[in-house]
Chain A
């Protein structure tokens, strides 16, 4: 059996409003995360709520209750996220302890059922491992760990948290590379929220200019492309090929310009980037312009 802890007791200071009540696509973030965990294969979820004195406590508890979660409502605000997770783990362990626990910050809007399912599938094949989703090696949320390791959180020194726990078992970490770059995002500030909501469902819209043969093949001077935040030049290249198949092999051979400069495939795209597809230029391959290099003064 798989358990999960959602720490929902934070004060959302930087956001200025209770994060987990923020609605994305018409549903509170907490409800979305709970549904993703259950649909992805989690059997029990403990939601750690703020104390009853906090105005957001009741609506969060209602969502958790109606979704079939277990609740912890502490008398005071837990000191930090680690304290919240400890409270949740304590509750999970009071009945039959789970084999694995899913823990994450709870405010990651990219937590989806397929993501959870793929993490749990990996954990079932590597039951001693700590399974973490990653994008290009960068770690995201949430983490799946064996119950035995999760339990050690209570024994860690003050000021240490989940990251320290994982560091202590770095030999057991298994990264699961996923395509959705949004797994590394949190919703901490109004700007994060605006970025997430910008475009369709958190996607960023780009206008990519086309020139010469590319313009004629596509029949227009630009393409509108939507990409997840944090996407790279390589992602854009793939998206261009899918969005306009008439470009054919020219997409693979063309360079991509970001803000009027040639960009490498691993370069990330800023949200406001000026983008263009640059087909090979006419003198690009037949000349040997480097022959007089180094002859100067």
Chain B
């Protein structure tokens, strides 16, 4: 199941979807809002998606993961909007007959998701500044 949502991620619902008699392993990864990044304090994160494309890219990731590992179910939920410290921004859940495949598929899904799915985050720093995270900075300042 693929979902982009403005609501809080409900891990209970996800774990229920991953419950299967055929599975010997369930792997659930949560990405959460961290307070400290390289010495700077975060107040909150804001996530923005290109929803049509993000859903399409997530569905493609599921297809590719299923081709690589013998997995039974894939659940990916990404939250958008403003998130407080400690809240989950993304959940990736996988089940499979054996744990090695579930771990590997889950790891690959979250890593590839962060690289290819058009979802961005903005840091709301404790010093009052805000900053969209577009790796490869510095740039994007007018005239820079």
Contacts and interface: CB of A to CB of B under 8 A. Distances in A.
Interface of A: 209, 211-217, 245-250, 253, 257, 260-262, 276, 278-289, 291-297
8 contacts: A246-B142, A247-B140, A282-B120, A283-B111, A283-B114, A287-B115, A288-B111, A296-B104
A215 B140 CA distance: 11
Interface in B58-85: 67-70
Contacts of B141: 248
B136 A281 contact: no
Contacts of A291: 111
Given A260-B52, A284-B115, 13 more contacts: A213-B120, A213-B140, A248-B139, A253-B139, A257-B50, A276-B118, A282-B121, A282-B135, A287-B114, A292-B104, A292-B107, A296-B68, A297-B69
Contacts, number: 118
A213 B107 CA distance: 28
Contacts of A262: 116
Contact of A279 (B67, B111, B120, B143): B120
Nearest to A297: B70
B137 to A, nearest CB: 9
Contacts of A247: 140
Contacts of B34: none
B133 interface: yes
Contact of B140 (A248, A257, A281, A288): A248
Given A211-B50, A212-B120, A217 B114 contact: no
